[in-house]
Amino acid sequence: MNLLSDRPANPTFVYVTLILCAVASVIASAWCIHIDDVINNDGVEYIRAAEQFAAWNWAGAFAVHQWPFFSFLMWATGTALGTSYETAGQLLNTFFFTLSSLLFVGVVRAFGGTSQRLTALAALVAVLHPAFNEYRAFIIRDAGYLAFYLLALFFLAKSVQVWRWRYSVFVVSALLVASIFRIEGAVFLLSAPLLIMTARGENGGSPWTRLVLTVMAAAVLA
């Protein structure tokens, strides 16, 4: 039996692929952290901001980094698990990179790549692509941003298949969280109405409605 055929992947195949993808992603992150134990420059700043949160000096945290949500997560995780902030940052990045890998597979499938071959290839790309592996040892907020951006893209793709209001809410919510990680996410958040209406296609209201949303999005982004 050819496991990489063009036949649609059944639920068992998808679940096994996702489990293997998650395990491989965690192993890849652990290996990258093991061979590169030097903290990157941004990571030093995030640790400093987390230390300010630990001292309840929120103004100091914002002075260290103007967008310190990831540092707040590092502080909360380190406090909850009793680890250093460096370890907390590495655990968070491992989690978010693994989540991004799984969501990448989900996005490919949501956009129509439901065959066994495409499902497996998506998992391989997510685990092996340099864009993921190059930064696995870093303490960066980008992994969280990427995870929630892909989550928004996943629900946007789902709304193309079957329109549900909850998908729109999920898209906006995911982009909002992505924006908390990186301010660049606000660009996608502000254009979310246009993206959602475009995804709805013929069911997305009148052409005049889409035109107004296009003009509004262009004005905001300008």
Query: Domain coordinates of the chain in residue numbers?
Result: 11-140
For the stretch 22-54, pLDDT in tens is: 999 999 999 999 998 889 999 999 999 999 999
* Calpha distance 165→92 (Å, rounded): 31
Give the pLDDT of residue 88: 97
Q: Which two tokens stand for residue 164?
A: 């549900």
Return the bridge partners of 115, or none. Answer: 8
Q: Which two tokens stand for residue 184?
A: 């660049």
Q: What is the dihedral of CA 203, 197, 101, 113, to 10 degrees?
A: 30
What pTM was computed for the model? 0.86
For the stretch 151-196, pLDDT in tens is: 998 998 888 777 778 888 898 899 999 999 998 877 777 777 777 7
